Structure 1
Amino acid sequence: MDASVQQIPYSSLTVDHTLPVPDMKPSLVKLCKDLFKKWSNLDESHFFAERVSGGITNLLLKVSVKEQNGNTVHVTVRLYGPNTEYVINRERELQAIHYLSAAGFGAKLLGVFGNGMVQSFIHARTLEPVDLRKPKLAAEIAKQLKRFHQVEIPGSKEPQLWIDIFKFYERASTLAFDDLDKQKKYETISFKEVHTELINLKDLTGRLNAPVVFSHNDLLSGNLMLNDDEDKLYIIDFEYGSYSYRGFDIGNHFNEYAGYDCDYTLYPNKDEQYHFFRNYLQPETPDKVSEKDLKLLYVETSCYMLASHLYWALWALIQAKMSPIDFDYLGYFFLRYNEYKKQKETCLSWAESYLSGPRPKPKPKPKPE
C-alpha cells in the first residue's frame, strides 16, 4: 500500500453495526480514544453519537467530541456492511481516498479500523434523486465529475469495469439460498443468457474507444452532498472507485436518477443529457461544445448505461446472499436486468449506426513550401 496511506492512524477494533446507536457508543468511544490519542483522557460524557444515514452498503455515524478546551469536533464514522469485501477492494479504496482528498474531493481520511473508517465531517445535506435533474445542480455535478476524472491515482491504469463485472458474474452464478422462495426466484435466472449479454456488450463498448479515467462508479444521489448556504457540492464515498470508462461513470449516474425504486421514467431525456455533457466537456464554455462531441458522448453513455444495469444486477445477487441489510436485493436484480433488456435494442442500434457511419477523414499533410 502507498506509504502516505500507511501513515493514517489504524486500530484493530471493530464496532457492531447491528446495535442501536446508544448501545454502540461505548465501542465508538473506545475506538476514538484508540485512534486519536488527544482524546484518550476524556470520559464517555464528552462523546455524542448519532446516525447520519445508512445506505444499502454502509452505515454512517456522526460522532461529536467536546474537547477539554470547550471546542466540539465532529467526525464521521463509516461502518462497512458485512461481507462487502466480496464486492469492494478496500485497499484500492484507501489509496484512492488519499489522492482524491488531496485534490479536494470528499471528506479527509482521519483513521482506519477493523470494519470501517473515520473521516472529517462535511456540513452539508445528502442529495435526493429528485435533486439530480435540477439544471443548475446537474451542471455543477458535471463540472465536478470532469475534475474528478482528471485526478491521477498511482498504479495500474487498466480499466477494471469488465474485470469486476465478470468477477461478480462468477460469484453471482453459483449461489444457493436457504430460503426456498429466494432459491426458486434465483433459479429462474438464465446465467447462460446473462453471460452472452456480457460478452456482446463488452465487445460493442470496446469498439467505442471510450476514454479511461479514474471513475467514481457509484455516483448516486446519496454520494453527493450540498451545502446550501455556501452553494458547495461534495462528491463522497469512493469505495467502488477504479480506473474505468468515462461513459460508464456518466451512464451509471444517469441511471441513479431513478433512485432505489428504479423509476426509469425519471431517466434524463436527450436535452437533459446534452446539458450535462456540455458542462462536462467544456466547463468554462459549455455553449461552445460541438454537435459531433455531444453525439459521441450520447452514444458512449447510452451503451455504458447498459453495462451499469448488468454491473448492479449481478452485484445485487451477491448482496442477496451476503448482506444482512433489510433490502430486496433479489428483486433489485430483476428491476435492473429487465430495464437492461428493455433499453438494449435502442441503445445498441444507436451505437451500430454511429460506428458504421462515415468516420472523420484524416487531415491532409501540409505541402512543403
Structure 2
Amino acid sequence: MTVEIPFVPHVFDESEASGSIHPLASFLFPDRGAGNGEIEVTRLTQGTTNALFKASHQRPDQASKSAEEIVLVKVYGEGTEVTIDRNKEIKLHKILSDNKLAPSVLVRFSNGHGYQFLDGTPCSVEAIVEEKIWRGVARELARWHAVLPNAPADGPDVILKFEPSVWSTAKKWLDALPSETEHQRAQKSQLEAEFDYLIEHLLRNRPQDPLVFGHGDLLCGNIIIQEEAAEGTPASVRFIDYEHSTYCPRAFELANHFAEWTGFECNYNLLPTRSTRREFIREYLQTHHNINNGQDGTASSHASQVAEAEVNQVMADVDLFRGFPGFYWGLCALIQAQASTGSIDFDYAGYAEKRLSEYWAWRRSGGPDTQTTEPNQAVSQREARWAAP
C-alpha cells in the first residue's frame, strides 16, 4: 500500500526557525505528544540550492542522549524551482526510501520538506581522496545501480524525451536560458549547437549503456560517512540530497562523480588520476556483480572476477563523457545566476564559467573523437590531470 506524504500549507521562515518548526512538529516527531518537550533547531548548511536545518527533540522524562530524536528540514532556495523539479525530487526520494537507499520523507510544506536523519559525517574534498572512502562510494553507487530499475532501453529519440533524464533536463535548462540581450541570444545559440553535438556523439553514434537511476549530483557533501573502516576495508557510506537524482548513462554518473572531487573551487589537482579511476571502477563493477549474484555487495573484492575488458570498456565510456558534466552544471549555474534572488550566497556566474571552461577544454582536446593521451602544452590543467597515470 502506498503511503501518502502529508502536506502542510506552511512557509518555513529561515530567520525564525525555532518558531517555524512547530506547525510541522506532529509530523516530524509523531510520538512526541502535544506540547511535550522542546524542539531544538540548528542550521547545518547553506547549500547552493537549499538551507538545511537539524531539529532534535529530547523527551523530558528521558535523560539518556540515545533517546534523542533527530530529523532534517530542507528549505528550498528562492528561484531554484527554475532548475529543480521538486515534485520529481519527492517522487524519486520515495522510490529510494522504499528500496532502503534513503531515509523516509516525513512531511512536505510550501517551501521544503522534512525527512529522517541519517547519522554520520559529511565527506569533504580532503576525505574523498582516501582509498577507504572512495572504495566505499564505489560500492554504494554500485548498490544504487544494481537495486534500482533501469529506464527502458529504447532508441535515441525515445531516450531524449524520457522523463526524468540528464538529456531531457539539459534540454529544459537550455530552453530556460535567458535571451533578452544580444549576448544572451548568442550564448544560447552556441550552447544549443553544442547540445546537438553531444547528442550526435554521445547518444546517436555510440553504443549506449541503459539509463541507470543515478544520484546525479554526487559531490562530496552529499556523501555521508557512517562508519570508520578497519584497516584495508572500505568505509560504509550513504548518499543524501536527491534533488538532481535522475536517469542517466552510467558513464555520466561516474564521470560526474569524478568531476566533483575538485569541489566548488574546481581544484583540478584533486581530480582522480587514471589509475585511481580504474580501481574505483573495478570496485564498482565487482560490487555490482556481487549483488547480481545474490550477495550483499560488501563481500571482499576479487579482481579476477571482473574481466579486464569490462574495466577497459567502462574506463573508455567515462572518458567519452568527461566533458558532459561541465556542460550540464554550467547550464544549471547560468540559469541560477539569473533566477537567484540573493537568498543563497553563491557565485553562480563564476561557477558557470568554471564548469563551462571544463567543457570547452574537453572540446579542444578532441571531445569524444579522441581518447585521452599524454598531456602536452596545449592541454588544459584539467585535461592534463585526467590523463595523468
Shorter-chain TM-score bucket reads 0.7 to 0.9
Q: What residue number does 1:297 align with?
A: 314
The answer to whether the 8 Å contact 1:129/1:258 transfers is yes
What's the CA shift string for 1:336-358, capped at 9, x where partnerless? Answer: 111111123254233599xxxxx
Who is 1:335 aligned against?
354
- Equivalent of 1:87, from 83, 100, 121? 83
Q: CA deviation at 1:88?
A: 1.5
Q: Deviations over 1:85-128 (max 9, x none)?
A: 21112222212212212322232212211111111112211111
Taking only aligned residues, the RMSD between alpha carbons, in angstroms, comes to: 2.6
Following the alignment from structure 2 to structure 1, what is the Cα–Cα distance between the partners of residues 359 and 266? 12
> Counterpart of 2:179?
174
Flag the 1:282–1:38 CA change in 2: closer, same or farther, 3 A.
closer
- Please say which of residues 334-343 and 186-195 is displaced more in the overlay: 186-195
Offset of residue 296 of structure 1: 1.6
Q: Return closer, same or farther for 1:240/1:270 CA change in 2, 3 Å cut-off.
A: same
Identity of aligned residues (%): 28
Q: Does 2:175 align with 1:191?
A: no
State the aligned residue count. 337
Corresponding residue for 2:275? 271
TM-score by length of 1: 0.83
Q: Is 1:309–2:363 an aligned residue pair?
A: no
Within the candidate set 249, 256, 266, 1:252 is matched to 256
Match of 1:163 among 165, 168, 182: 168
Cα gap change, 1:154 to 1:161, in 2 (>3 Å): closer
- When residues 124 and 224 of structure 1 are mapped into structure 2, their CA distance, relative to the original with a 3 A threshold, is same
Aligned to 1:99: 95
Q: Which residue number corresponds to residue 282 of structure 1? A: 286
**CA–CA distance in 1 between the matches of 2:284 and 2:124?**
21
Deviates more, 1:151-160 or 1:116-125: 151-160
> Greater shift after overlay, 277-286 or 186-195?
186-195
Out of 41, 59, 81, the position equivalent to 1:49 is: 41
Distance 1:213 1:175, change over 3 A: farther
Matched to 2:24, the amino acid is L
Paired residue secondary structure (1:61):
strand
Q: For residue 2 of structure 2, give the secondary structure of its aligned residue in structure 1.
A: helix
- Structure 1, 30-39 or 194-203: larger mean CA deviation: 30-39
Gaps of 5+ in 1: 177-183, 354-369
Take 1:254 and 1:286, find their aligned partners in 2: how far apart are those partners? Answer: 23
Residue in 2 aligned with 1:112?
108
Distance 1:100 1:338, change over 3 A: same
Equivalent residue for 2:71?
Answer: 75
Aligned to 2:212: 213
* 2:377 corresponds to: none
Residue 201 of structure 1 is aligned with which of 190, 198, 217?
Answer: 198
1:28 aligns with 2:21: yes
- Shift in alpha-carbon separation, 1:153–1:349, aligned structure 2, 3 A: closer
Specify which of 143, 146, 149 is matched with residue 150 of structure 1: 146
Equivalents in 1 of 2:167, 2:356: separation in Å?
17
Q: Secondary structure at the match of 1:59?
A: strand
1:227: which partner in 2? 226
Per the alignment, do residues 129 and 149 of structure 1 end up closer, same or farther by CA in structure 2, a change over 3 Å counting?
A: same
Counterpart in 1 of 2:159?
Answer: none
Whole-angstrom CA distance in 2 between matches of 1:165 and 1:242 = 12
User: Unaligned regions of 5+ residues in structure 2, if any?
Assistant: 154-161, 230-234, 291-300, 374-389
Alignment partner of 1:124 is 2:123: no
Q: Give the Cα separation in 2 of the matches to 1:287 and 1:14.
A: 52
Matched position secondary structure for 2:107: strand
Alpha-carbon distance in structure 2 between the residues aligned to 1:102 and 1:248: 25
Normalising by the residue count of structure 2, what TM-score does the alignment of the two structures yield?
0.79
* Corresponding letter in the other structure for 1:4: T
Give the drift of 1:246.
0.7
Aligned partners of 1:199, 1:30: CA distance in 2, in Å? Answer: 48
